[in-house]
Amino acid sequence: MDLGLPLSGRLLVATPPLVDPNFDRTVVLVLEHTAEGAVGVVLNRPSDTPVAEALPEWAPLAAEPAAVFIGGPVAVGSAIGLALATGPIVAGEAWAPVDGLLGTVDLALDPADVEPPVERLRVFTGYAGWDAGQLEHELEEGAWLVADAAPGDCHTRDPEGLWPAVLRRQGGRTAWLANFPPDPRLN
């Protein structure tokens, strides 16, 4: 199965058979994918915690909805900042590039000290993680569809609508999955 590996910067879209409550109807941005495993964040699970409450110094840069998002079930006490930079990202103290102007930013820094500056930010608590070969196995089993990220997916104003939107833009039979009922037994 040629998926254009590694998958860094691409989306994993949960298929309806994936019934794990951590990932049901989720869209995950893969931040890093190597032979040792993969790390990503769930893009469509906002929490009730405002960024202004959790990280007030970063709140002015938070994309709407300006909530902390639940990035996944691993290390839920940690915070990951996914940001759009105003210029090219160089890996270093402040940034870890993901794709183009998108990268993770060190939230321990003062936003004024980050170069290039952050244009827009989404904060995640926790992340999704896979050991070596685990994600590839889940892909072979059909648990995930791989899709290219569109501009705006990572900082969408409508996170709840992201799962069907990504499926619809795939076209063909894949687009039909966007209408899959939450519980097909009730259909």
Summarize pLDDT for 120-170 with one digit per residue, the tens. 999 999 999 999 999 999 999 999 999 999 999 999 999 999 999 999 999
Tokens of 80: 């990951």
Cβ neighbors of 178 (< 8 A, separation 6 or more) are 163, 164, 165, 167, 168
Q: What is the mean pLDDT of the chain?
A: 92
Indicate if the alpha-carbon torsion angle 71, 150, 34, 134 is positive or negative: positive
Residue 139 and residue 7 in contact, taking contact as beta carbons nearer than 8 Å = no
Output the pLDDT for position 148. Answer: 96
Output the pLDDT for position 174. Answer: 84
Total-model pTM? 0.92
CATH topology of domain 10-186: VC0467-like (3.40.1740)
